[in-house]
Amino acid sequence: MDAKVNRTSQEKIRSTVLIVITALFALVALTRLVHLQVVNASKYGKIVERQSSGRTPIPAARGTIYDRYGRLLARDVIGSALCVYPRNKEELRVASRYLEKFYNLASGTAKKKYGLSVGKFRYITRRLSDKMAKRIEADSPVGLVIRQASKREYPFGLTGKQILGFTDIDNKGQSGFELSHNSMLAGVNGWADYRRDGLQNAFRIHEAAVVKPQRGASVVLSADWRLQGIVEEELEAAVEKYNAKHGMAAFVDVRTGDILALAHFDPNEKNRHRPIKNCAVTNQFEPGSSLKAFTAAGMLDVGLINFQDTTYCEEGVWKIGRARLHDDKKRGWLTFREIMELSSNIGIGKKAIEFGGEALFETLENFGFGTKTGCGLPGEASGMLRRLRWSDYNVAALSMGHSIAVTSVQMAMAMAVVANGGDLFKPNIILGMVDENGFVQEQREPELVRQVVDRSSLDSLHAFLRGVVTVGTATPVNSPSIAIAGKTGTAEIPDIKNKRYFKNRFNASFVGFFPANDPIIAGFIVIKNPRPITYGGYTSGVAFRRIAERYAVSNPDMISSSAQTLIAGSDINDNSIEVPDFTGRDIETAKIIAEREGINLYCISANGTIEWQFPKSDHLMMKGDRVIATTEPKESGEMLDLKGLTLRQASAFLHHKKISFTIKGNGRVVRQTLLPGTKIEEGLICRLECRPGRG
């Protein structure tokens, strides 16, 4: 009995102790819980938040780039990217095996191929198709992540890439406009929250941004991408035709300083899709005789030139101090106009000595040589223009384009000064900004730097430069379809190592503007070391002519027919006529007027009211030439028979109907891929084949 009482007493004690211990543990736990949840709630809440959540950046869309006519040049395209972020060895193993199976890789190779390791984030591909993304999302293991990613797309391919540049894998500008204006185009990244579970798997919250990304600014460039394409094609053709080392070109609007096209072509360039620099603004060289146009402008401006006076050109060799100046041909007495047209080094050198070294230096400096133009593209060179000890030889050498270094864009801008009557503008690459509604805002006005020479002093120079093309060193540049004026250059390339000039290597150049009677565009082309033809008028000048002709074809309303009449050297006479205004008239009446005036009116329809004509009524044309017309509303959607038309006439019709087209050959149309009467629909392309002929 005593034993039973004693055992019951012990059990009560044990129970009491257990209850007390349990109560103590509960009290400690409660105290700890209060300590964590109340006293130090803020501190530990932050720790939990940091361990179980985070933020991930949402890249901002890069700004869109357009050309001056609204053509889309660069844009961001949103796609999917496949990433790996294994948190432990098991996730690494499973993810590696999945990638090997998905991409048909050998077993055990994915880890090394993609550089996978625990705790490190890796992109597998940033260009994942939607179909593949859906497949991966359906069966991928933990550790593989599908993220949205943007890539840069250039709809015109390689055209203009030297201006635009390119972006890297993170969509940051690496060259060209993409680099120089990266901060403006890039925008501001946003942020999104994510949460992790106890196994450290990450989950995005509603795919919604906590801070929304701000899209980069969209811009309109001053460049004309149609002209850019023409310049690139003709420059490449010239370099290949004349077996040259490379070529560069720059074209600008003489009225505003807008950069319209910049290009270079090097047949040995390996990464044309990722150009590091634009040689038209980065490379500098001696221009040779092309510079004589600006030397002459300074002389004319101070009244040094008397047009009746002649200069003796020493029969081709002139000893000046210890040196000699040479002309390519033996010549005696020449007027200043003949000096320019025939590009006499001796003639221009003698007149430059009269002008004086300091005056020549200041003239060239005012034209912008020796300083960066500020065109807004990276890597621009300033060229080189130095004050020398003004010996007669140094003055003569500078006047003919030696002992000076220039860039292509400097030469184009300087010729724009001559073409527009004396005003130097700052070259402009940005025409305006585009708002979120697609409207152009903040359109930039032309920025006048200074007036270089007086307008009246350039009238004679225009005539001289036109003479260079019609009777001088650039007769191959003379075109029957567009009036060109300019100056040739054939400069010996400096041998830097031996401090002399190569006698068999040349930079062949042409600087000019068109139309000659009403300048719109100035440009410069230089081809390095062409073979076997080395003269600028026969190499770079021919490429310049081709560019001017093709541009006139693609812009028929810009170049008047009256200008074409004057180009061919024909005076306005009894064979020319002012084009009547046929718009608004019925076909029958229009044909009567055309017959009376000696004009061939060409229209696809036999009746109706004329709603468009080419040439326009304010232009001149030769009697017997053709006016093409369209009527409304019957034939508004039908293709015209273009065979026999000139390129200008055919392209005018295609532009009017908003039909894209390509051209093979030159002259008159002999074949068209869109047959006459074809219903015109959006997106059609017509290929024209042309051959020389009077039609």
* 37-94 confidence digits (pLDDT tens): 776 667 666 655 555 555 566 677 889 999 998 899 999 887 777 888 888 888 888 8
Site of tokens 């600006």: 294
CB atoms within 10 A of CB 447: 13
* pLDDT computed for residue 202 by the predictor: 47
pLDDT at 635: 46
For residue 105, the tally of other CB atoms under 10 A from its CB is 15
The pLDDT of residue 561 is above 50? no
Determine contact, residues 290/489, Cβ cutoff 8 Å: yes
**What is the distance between the alpha carbons of residues 341 and 329, in angstroms, rounded to a whole number?**
13
Q: Is the pLDDT of residue 12 over 80?
A: no
Confidence category of residue 517, pLDDT binned at 50, 70, 90? confident
For residues 518 and 657, membership in a common domain is answered with: no
Looking at the structure, tell me whether residues 235 and 362 fall in a common domain: yes
Strand, helix or coil at 380? coil
Question: What SS3 state is found at 98?
Answer: helix
Identity of residue 371: T
What CATH number does the domain containing 668 carry? 3.30.10.20
What is the distance between the alpha carbons of residues 634 and 324, in angstroms, rounded to a whole number?
73
Give the pair of three-digit tokens for residue 54.
């985070």
Contact between residue 299 and residue 355 where contact means Cβ atoms under 8 Å apart:
yes
Residues 464 and 579 placed together within one structural domain of the fold:
no
Does residue 276 lie in a domain region? yes
Query: Is residue 532 assigned to a domain?
Result: yes
Beta strands per DSSP E along 418-463: 423-425, 430-434, 440-441, 448-451
Does 489 lie in the same domain as 411?
A: yes
Q: How confident is the model at residue 620 (pLDDT cuts 50, 70, 90)?
A: low
Give the rounded percent of residues in the chain with a pLDDT score beyond 90. 41
Identify which has the larger pLDDT, 201 or 143. 143
pLDDT band of 292, cuts 50, 70, 90: very high
CATH at 118:
3.90.1310.10
What's the chain's average pLDDT? 83
Residue 194 has pLDDT above 80, yes or no: no
Angle at CA of residue 122, ends 117 and 126, nearest 5°: 155
Residue 161 to residue 181: CA distance in whole angstroms: 15
pLDDT in tens, 568-615: 333 334 455 777 878 878 888 888 888 888 888 888 777 788 888 887
Regarding whether 295 and 432 lie in a shared domain, the answer is: yes
- Position 345 scores a pLDDT of 95
CA-only gyration radius of the chain, Å? 37
Query: Mean pLDDT: which of 113-122, 151-160, 448-457, 519-528 is highest?
Result: 519-528
Residue holding tokens 């900004």?
433
Token readout for 188 is 């501001």
In 3D, which of 517, 323, 509, 301 has the Cα closest to residue 408? Answer: 509
Mean pLDDT on 632-637: 59
The DSSP call for residue 36 is I
Angle, alpha carbons 258-261-262 (nearest 5°): 115
Q: Which residue has the higher pLDDT, 662 or 511?
A: 511
Residue 489 tokens read as 């250059």
Q: Residue 569: its pLDDT value, please?
A: 34
Q: Across residues 531-560, what is the average pLDDT?
A: 85
Which strand ranges, in their side-by-side order, compose the sheet holding 685-691?
A: 660-664, 685-691, 668-672
| Residue 36 pLDDT | 66
Give the Cα separation of 638 and 631 in Å (integer): 11
Say what the pLDDT of residue 692 is: 62
Query: What would the pLDDT profile of 343-394 be if each residue is shown by its tens digit?
Result: 999 999 999 999 999 999 999 999 999 999 999 999 999 999 999 999 999 9
Final residue belonging to a domain, choices 197, 221, 245: 221
Pair 298, 375 in one domain: yes
My answer on whether 199 and 123 are in the same domain is: yes
Could you give the CA distance from residue 545 to residue 537 in angstroms, rounded to a whole number? 10
pLDDT tens-place string over residues 304-346: 998 888 999 999 999 998 889 999 899 999 999 999 999 999 9
The rounded distance, in Å, linking the Cα atoms of 546 and 317 is 35
Residue in this structure with the two tokens 């054939």, named with its chain if needed:
490
- pLDDT of residue 563 exceeding 50, the answer is no
Max avg pLDDT among 11-20, 249-258, 440-449: 249-258
Kindly indicate the confidence band of residue 691, based on its pLDDT and cuts at 50, 70 and 90. confident
Report yes or no on 291 lying in a domain: yes
d(C-alpha 624, C-alpha 633), whole Å: 28
Residue 195's pLDDT is 54
pLDDT value at position 29?
77
Q: Please count the residues of the chain.
A: 695
Split at pLDDT 50, 70, 90, the class of 5 is low
**Measured between alpha carbons, how far is residue 70 from residues 22, 59, 224 in Å?**
80, 26, 9
Tokens of 657: 């109907």
CB 304 within 8 A of CB 355: yes
Indicate whether 509 pLDDT > 60.
yes
Q: Amino acid letter at 177?
A: F
Is 44 among the domain residues? no
234 and 215 fall within a common domain: no
Q: Has residue 624 got a pLDDT over 80?
A: no
Q: Are residues 290 and 403 in the same domain?
A: yes
Write down which residue in 171, 201, 221 finishes a domain.
221
Report the range out of 12-16, 55-59, 443-447, 520-524 with the highest average pLDDT.
Answer: 520-524
Tokens 């001053």, located at residue: 222
401 domain-assigned: yes
Is residue 206 domain-shared with residue 354, that is, in the same domain?
no
Residue 289 and residue 254 share a domain:
yes
- Judge whether 171 lies within some domain: no
Per-residue confidence (pLDDT) for residue 162, from 0 to 100: 92
Please report where in the chains the tokens 């780039």 appear, as a residue. 65
Between 539 and 169, name the one with better pLDDT: 539
Structure tokens at 288: 């040779």
Residue-range definition of the domain harbouring residue 241 = 225-555
CATH number of 519's domain: 3.40.710.10
The predicted pLDDT at position 107 comes to: 86
User: What pairs with residue 491 in β-bridges?
Assistant: 507
SS (H, E, C) 632-652: ECCCCCECCCCCCCEHHHHHH
Q: Above 60 in pLDDT, residue 519? A: yes
Looking at residues 672-683, what average pLDDT do you find?
A: 83
Closest of 401, 432, 403, 431 to residue 414, by C-alpha: 401
Q: Is 427 domain-assigned?
A: yes
Quick check: 258 pLDDT over 90?
yes
> Cα(509)–Cα(487) distance, rounded to whole angstroms?
8
- Note whether 301 and 402 are same-domain residues: yes
Q: pLDDT (tens digit, 9 = 90+) per residue, 397-451?
A: 999 999 999 999 999 999 999 999 999 999 999 998 888 777 777 778 899 999 9
Neighbouring residues of 500: CB distance < 8 A, sequence distance ≥ 6: 494
Q: Write down the pTM of the prediction.
A: 0.71
**What's the domain count of the chain?**
4
525 within domain boundaries: yes
